[in-house]
Structure 1
């Protein structure tokens, strides 16, 4: 059945009009479908970067996060199941009934959620510690992200050179462990123990998370 609405002499098909299914959107694409995806992700509190209609690394990381929240394989491909989830999205699974302003990090899902007034305001893909032994730049240890309940106690603006590498806008929550921006945030755990977020997300994270914010990290 075709639902038609006539406005000022123009025939407009309503939302139930049949037609070809939208094309699959994937990294490297550009155009109106990508722009629509970026706007939708931003409205749902993900961070696709600039809403410019180009599907680059920033948008891909946001799609990974969305897919993980919806228990899908994070491959960055926006196909029919992802489109359906975008129409009826779910909230990230809460790890704690903690303070209304907090950060929750799931190491199993490699996912970070910032809450303000008890509601998600930022959902991001992350990359945490590999769990493997390392010896680099005169330091040896096990690249393990600590679990538990912490608070942000220190921050550095801009780039910071630490013993094991550079970090962008680190937010320290336990000793030398921090949430920070990185140019390398793959789908797998890859850090020495810190929690990496995509570089473009680090600025937004720093604005949303003042010192004293609770940080809950779970396996």
Structure 2
């Protein structure tokens, strides 16, 4: 049985089954729940630049497509998504569904052998008199084997070990409670993105190895307090003087065009160097009537980092950068990021 950092692994108290669904399809059907980009927002800062550093690590494996399946659980009670206006065609918002995929090939199973009765009959016999039944098959306890993956819904000590390891590495996990819920799934997404792994939210061998080996993204800035947004890997990093202090799963613009109030927009998240210029400490409604967003921090036009109840492992917004509601609360209440905080998008 595998031992993760910090805690010994014990027996599984319950293993949740993996639920199948289509990530890509769900994200598209929900794509108009919220938005960023409205002609009423003030323009971006004149000093913003379009250049950006190149990530040190390679891009992740292809995004889960229509074949990926799963379910998701929101990390916070507030429902969120949507954005205000931007000045460019890149103005946008957020939407999609946060659902784990299926870690095909990771799942393991076992079938208990059914002993015969030793006389050539097809009828099996599970009874034992303590002396053996003469057929050479000693019946073992009927305890189910622990699966070789960890997935959404499981409650066990090994989930607690995983949560502790993720927390130690800086991934956004607030509670080590042995229960694989939405927050743990978001952290697993982030780990898989950082390691260039398939983003299904299921902890198979490759994801376990990434956690054991301490895989974390590297900061692209070296001084000050900066909110970094890695578009290629769909991550938000809270960085202090070149040190990554928190790694958060994110979902940005999906590149699709959409209609709002008779106009056509492109779901695009601009790259460059910006700064938080406006913040709304509340549930904020999009003026394009595309939905709501939780506690947004705008950094260019109508584009903001904000909380959402739906943060999938792939780009799904209309241009804003979505994180979980609990992660947005952490940015506001613990880390800060007040107006003027640099935001670097690459």
Scaled by the length of structure 1, the TM-score of the pair is: 0.83
The 1:48–1:138 alpha-carbon spacing in structure 2 relative to 1, beyond 3 Å, is farther
Whole-angstrom CA distance in 2 between matches of 1:158 and 1:97: 30
Whole-angstrom CA distance in 2 between matches of 1:97 and 1:189: 23
Whole-angstrom CA distance in 2 between matches of 1:189 and 1:124: 14
In the TM superposition, 1:141-152 aligns within 5 A as 141-152=265-276
Name which of structure 1's ranges 204-213 and 126-135 shifts more when overlaid on structure 2: 204-213
What's 2:338 paired with?
A: 210
Aligned positions, number: 199
Deviation of 1:67 after TM superposition, in Å, equals 1.1
In the TM superposition, 1:189-208 aligns within 5 A as 189-206=315-332, 207-208=334-335
Name which of structure 1's ranges 124-133 and 136-145 shifts more when overlaid on structure 2: 136-145
Deviations 1:44-86 (A, max 9, x none): 1111343222111221111010111111111112122222222
What's 1:12 paired with?
A: none
What's 2:231 paired with?
A: 107
The structure that has the greater radius of gyration is 2
**Larger relative contact order (C-alpha < 8 A, sep ≥ 6)?**
2
Name which of structure 1's ranges 83-92 and 141-150 shifts more when overlaid on structure 2: 83-92
In the TM superposition, 1:13-162 aligns within 5 A as 23-94=148-219, 96-162=220-286
The 1:166–1:138 alpha-carbon spacing in structure 2 relative to 1, beyond 3 Å, is farther
Deviation of 1:22 after TM superposition, in Å, equals 8.3
Deviation of 1:106 after TM superposition, in Å, equals 1.4
Whole-angstrom CA distance in 2 between matches of 1:193 and 1:82: 29
Whole-angstrom CA distance in 2 between matches of 1:117 and 1:202: 21
Deviation of 1:128 after TM superposition, in Å, equals 0.5
Deviation of 1:137 after TM superposition, in Å, equals 4.4
Deviation of 1:100 after TM superposition, in Å, equals 2.9
Whole-angstrom CA distance in 2 between matches of 1:47 and 1:178: 20
Give yes or no for contact 1:48–1:60 (8 Å, CA) kept in 2: no
Structure with more helix by fraction: 1
Deviations 1:13-41 (A, max 9, x none): xx9xxxx9984211111121111111221
Name which of structure 1's ranges 97-106 and 115-124 shifts more when overlaid on structure 2: 97-106
Whole-angstrom CA distance in 2 between matches of 1:97 and 1:204: 21
Whole-angstrom CA distance in 1 between matches of 2:305 and 2:221: 21
Deviations 1:164-210 (A, max 9, x none): 32110111111211000001111221111100001221111223222
Deviations 1:127-173 (A, max 9, x none): 11111111134553111011100001221113111223211011111
Whole-angstrom CA distance in 2 between matches of 1:60 and 1:203: 18
RMSD over aligned CA atoms reads 2.1
Structure 2 gaps of 5+ residues are 1-7, 9-144
Report SS of the residue matched to 2:317: coil
Deviation of 1:93 after TM superposition, in Å, equals 3.3
Structure with more strand by fraction: 1
What's 1:7 paired with?
A: none
Whole-angstrom CA distance in 1 between matches of 2:276 and 2:222: 15
Report SS of the residue matched to 2:200: coil
Whole-angstrom CA distance in 1 between matches of 2:263 and 2:238: 32
